[in-house]
Structure 1
């Protein structure tokens, strides 16, 4: 999936707004930053990084991060949009040590867009990308207690892969590794 290319779509019932999922282009770092900071502010327990850590990044850092991800060929930063506004994001990445393994990070759906297939559309786009790269599996971590995310991943076929681990060193929050075989 390339920036601007078509992606998965869903419709927000009641709002009449179609949701489009597409790759973020390097120049869209302000959109990525806004969604990432919103995600961390709204659901701080869901992510390994913190709002304070991410707010401390300068514009150059945000631009560099998205440019590297969007042009590397090994990463896929995704955005879901509804009515011209960001409704969610996700980031898929090929594992550096094992290119047959893809990993999913940062999947988040704006509260007003939840329950309308936005998360499933983001996940489908990431899985399509991983399959196109001939990845044999995708892995992710879901915070223990985030039942909605866990159900989303289970519906897609992900299964628990090992025991829960601390979300980050020294953290009390635990994260359940999950894995989906793609072959």
Structure 2
């Protein structure tokens, strides 16, 4: 496999972000709270605003993974006020052809390091029940199931399991 590169998305990367986000929603519709149909209709300005963290007063780490110019992965770390002790992981996705190659683990490591630098004590995410590959990834990375199952999104029969990791454990 060619070497992959993880980088932080900036507002200038909005077209790249839009491309990989829509690709992830098409590929894995049962993994996200949003749907392809909801996000495909967003305006260019809305895509740009998502990455303009300063104007949104959002403490976040939007990451993209590329092999050459090809986007092959995505993940966001987000800290929501007022609970600044917890960082959340959203939009985690790796291209199906490249799963199992260490990309997702590298994304988790990057978000974990960022969260520790931000003073967080906990990483949190939610994983769709039945997505055993994702559950296994998160469990092997130190996440544990916690709390009640929640609906993936309004109207969905699918549920997600909240999971957390105490920071300081190995990823």
Between 163-172 and 102-111, report the one with greater CA deviation.
163-172
Say how many residue pairs are matched.
168
What's the offset of the Cα at 1:67?
Answer: 1.5
- State whether residues 161 and 179 of structure 1, in contact with CA within 8 Å, keep that contact through their aligned partners in structure 2: yes
- Using the size of structure 2 for normalisation, the TM-score is 0.93
**Is 2:131 the counterpart of 1:146?**
yes
Give the Cα separation in 1 of the matches to 2:70 and 2:110.
Answer: 18
Give the Cα separation in 2 of the matches to 1:121 and 1:31.
Answer: 20
What's the offset of the Cα at 1:70?
Answer: 9.4
Aligned residue for 2:92?
A: 107
- State whether residues 157 and 180 of structure 1, in contact with CA within 8 Å, keep that contact through their aligned partners in structure 2: yes
List gaps (5 residues or longer) in structure 2: none
What's the offset of the Cα at 1:95?
Answer: 2.1
Once the two structures are superposed, the pairs formed by residues 57-136 of structure 1 within 5 Å of their partners are: 57-68=42-53, 72=57, 74-136=59-121
What are the superposed Cα offsets for residues 7-56 of structure 1, whole Å, 9 maximum, x if unpaired?
A: xxxxx3xxxx1111111111000000000000000110110100000001
Q: Which of 160, 163, 167 is the matching residue for 2:145?
A: 160
**Is 2:164 the counterpart of 1:169?**
no
Aligned residue for 1:31?
A: 16
Aligned residue for 1:182?
A: 167
Give the Cα separation in 1 of the matches to 2:113 and 2:95.
Answer: 22
What's the offset of the Cα at 1:110?
Answer: 0.7
Superposed structure 1 runs of 4+ greater than 6 Å apart: none
SS in 2 for 1:18: coil
- Using the size of structure 1 for normalisation, the TM-score is 0.87
SS in 1 for 2:137: helix
Give the Cα separation in 1 of the matches to 2:72 and 2:55.
Answer: 19
Aligned residue for 1:5?
A: none
What's the offset of the Cα at 1:69?
Answer: 6.9
Give the Cα separation in 2 of the matches to 1:157 and 1:65.
Answer: 29
- State whether residues 72 and 94 of structure 2, in contact with CA within 8 Å, keep that contact through their aligned partners in structure 1: yes
List gaps (5 residues or longer) in structure 1: 1-11
**Is 2:16 the counterpart of 1:49?**
no
Give the Cα separation in 2 of the matches to 1:152 and 1:71.
Answer: 31
